[in-house]
Structure 1
């Protein structure tokens, strides 16, 4: 999904004012230092993604109280997402789109947001340079993962002009803007594999609430709340270092059709007793997309993304012929069949294991 950057919209400050009033009502019982409009929409005449960024600044002892108050109001706690002292929350109201953060007063991540805003408000040349970089990236169809990293150099220039952060803090901000272990979208002949976003909750629910999709799983069809919890976990885990849970959404003709994932054992490239690191793989695709080799195409693109050397494993119920055929098409070798491994949904289940080293 390409980033959208718009010319400055004079309505953005009024959008912020309305959102701020609503946030203040939710936080009435929590001491707050301030609620700040930050990000590019807070700078007059600066091109920006049309998303209102808001920092709720609190002292450290009040962080959890602020988060809890917003969660009680229906917000989703997304955690720090790899940036210490900046807690992201998703507002259920996304009209207009917005990012809400609970930030610790005085933390350099908080000072970073304020320094960028205040410097750009007072420096037209830097403001215009920053805007041109963003417009150029959007014109090239840059995705959000690469977009954040690509504008890192000009952000460093802005922060150095502000002269409010130490060299160590500047380096930490630069590192936080790198995509790290997150993946840029991967395009195949027919598909796009990309990182999950919160907007995927509905599509994830529609996939995982289908009874036949969980026929061979240990859980019943997902509820909407369970789907939300799973997507939140996936979004959080995508920012973990080291990243052990890797899961990507699969899109076909601009529609979410499934997901592919791996759980990788932590540690060095070679684990205990010289054994390779291990990764358990899974995949789930909508019924109407099956039989078209889309799942195979997705897995063939996904597996090379995982760090090698690695021992891959697909474990499945032998009755799940789709998974068995997938493992065989991908060149996995059958290494075991164990009968009646566990009881699930009132019946004893066998386990078939396929492995491959990459």
Structure 2
């Protein structure tokens, strides 16, 4: 899902005013300081992603009441997503597309938003330099993870010009914009593996609501609400450091066809660094995409992205032939077959385990 940067649209300020009016209705019973148009769409003449960024600025004690008021009106709370004191929410109305934040007054992330906006509004040369960087990055077809990190150098110059953040705070912004343990889009011959985004909810539901997809899982087909909550949880976990859950969306011709996931045991403080962690590996793909080698192709690209050393394990119901056959194609070793290990959907299920240890290569 490559980043798209468009020529400045003079309608963007009007979009903000409309969204602000909606928010004022939702927030009429709580206290906040202001609703600010931030991000590139708030700077006249600046090319930008066509997404309206809005920061609801609050005094710290009022943070949770404002978040609660929005959640009551069907906003989805996403968390801080790696930026302390900047709380992200997903509006149920995405026409036009928007990012909603609740920012603590005086926090450096709030001053970052306002400082970048105000500096670019008053310094045309810096604005145009920033636009050129954004356009060049978009032309490379990179995804949002790589895009945010690649803008860091010019963002630092903008913040230095703004003069609102200390050197220590500018460094904190730099770190927050690094991809950390998030993974940039990885391309194979036919596929792209990338981090989940909220735009994946419908497609994810289309996968996990299928009876045949969850046949051998302990859960029933997902509802749309459950799918949305799971995508939110996946996005949140991608910002954790250290990151113990890696789940990537798999796309073919820009269409979501499945997902790969590994969930690793958290290391204990007294464990030796070189001791392999046990990591449970699994995948699910749309039935119509199966039988074409997509799962194998995706897993061969996915495994080298994982932190090593690690002992990867694929555990499945032996009736799920697609899982254990894939394990064998990937060079996993059959470890055990145990009868009637757990009850699933009214029947006792056998457990077939394959394992493979990956070495010291860094991600």
TM above 0.5: yes
Residue number in structure 2 paired with 1:313: 313
Q: 1:12 to 1:277 in 2, by over 3 A?
A: same
The reply to whether residue 22 of structure 1 matches residue 22 of structure 2 is yes
For 2:151 and 2:269, locate their aligned partners in 1 and report how far apart those are by CA, in whole Å. Answer: 32
For structure 1, the residue ranges without an aligned partner over 5 or more in a row are none
Alpha-carbon shift at residue 265 of structure 1 (Å): 1.6
Residue number in structure 2 paired with 1:219: 219
Length-normalised TM-score, structure 2 = 0.96
For the 8 Å contact 1:193–1:249, the answer to whether it is kept is: yes
Trace 1:320-339 onto structure 2 (pairs within 5 A). Answer: 320-339=320-339
For structure 2, the residue ranges without an aligned partner over 5 or more in a row are 359-363
For the 8 Å contact 1:271–1:277, the answer to whether it is kept is: no
For 2:273 and 2:66, locate their aligned partners in 1 and report how far apart those are by CA, in whole Å. Answer: 47
For 1:212 and 1:16, locate their aligned partners in 2 and report how far apart those are by CA, in whole Å. Answer: 43
Trace 1:60-139 onto structure 2 (pairs within 5 A). Answer: 60-139=60-139
For 1:270 and 1:145, locate their aligned partners in 2 and report how far apart those are by CA, in whole Å. Answer: 33
CA displacement, residues 201-253 of structure 1 (integer Å, 9 cap, x when unaligned) = 11111111111111111111111111111101001111111111100000012
Trace 1:230-245 onto structure 2 (pairs within 5 A). Answer: 230-245=230-245
Residue number in structure 2 paired with 1:295: 295
Residue number in structure 1 paired with 2:343: 343
**SS of structure 2 residue aligned to 1:10:** coil
For 1:29 and 1:266, locate their aligned partners in 2 and report how far apart those are by CA, in whole Å. Answer: 42
Residue number in structure 2 paired with 1:2: 2
For 1:228 and 1:72, locate their aligned partners in 2 and report how far apart those are by CA, in whole Å. Answer: 16
CA displacement, residues 139-195 of structure 1 (integer Å, 9 cap, x when unaligned) = 222221111111110000010011111111000000011111111111111111111
For 1:264 and 1:62, locate their aligned partners in 2 and report how far apart those are by CA, in whole Å. Answer: 37
For 2:186 and 2:165, locate their aligned partners in 1 and report how far apart those are by CA, in whole Å. Answer: 36
Higher deviation after alignment, 181-190 or 274-283: 274-283
For 2:116 and 2:275, locate their aligned partners in 1 and report how far apart those are by CA, in whole Å. Answer: 48
**SS of structure 1 residue aligned to 2:212:** helix
For 1:315 and 1:226, locate their aligned partners in 2 and report how far apart those are by CA, in whole Å. Answer: 24
For 1:148 and 1:9, locate their aligned partners in 2 and report how far apart those are by CA, in whole Å. Answer: 21
Q: 1:42 to 1:69 in 2, by over 3 A?
A: same
Count of matched residue positions in the alignment of Structure 1 and Structure 2:
358
Alpha-carbon shift at residue 275 of structure 1 (Å): 3.9
Length-normalised TM-score, structure 1 = 0.98
Alpha-carbon shift at residue 338 of structure 1 (Å): 1.3
Q: 1:273 to 1:254 in 2, by over 3 A?
A: closer
The reply to whether residue 177 of structure 1 matches residue 187 of structure 2 is no
For 1:189 and 1:40, locate their aligned partners in 2 and report how far apart those are by CA, in whole Å. Answer: 34
**SS of structure 2 residue aligned to 1:142:** coil
Q: 1:353 to 1:270 in 2, by over 3 A?
A: farther
CA displacement, residues 11-48 of structure 1 (integer Å, 9 cap, x when unaligned) = 11111000001001001111010000001111111111
CA displacement, residues 104-147 of structure 1 (integer Å, 9 cap, x when unaligned) = 01101000000001111111111111111111111222221111
Q: 1:273 to 1:136 in 2, by over 3 A?
A: closer
For the 8 Å contact 1:269–1:276, the answer to whether it is kept is: no
Residue number in structure 2 paired with 1:168: 168
Alpha-carbon shift at residue 339 of structure 1 (Å): 1.1
Q: 1:210 to 1:154 in 2, by over 3 A?
A: same
For 1:106 and 1:160, locate their aligned partners in 2 and report how far apart those are by CA, in whole Å. Answer: 17
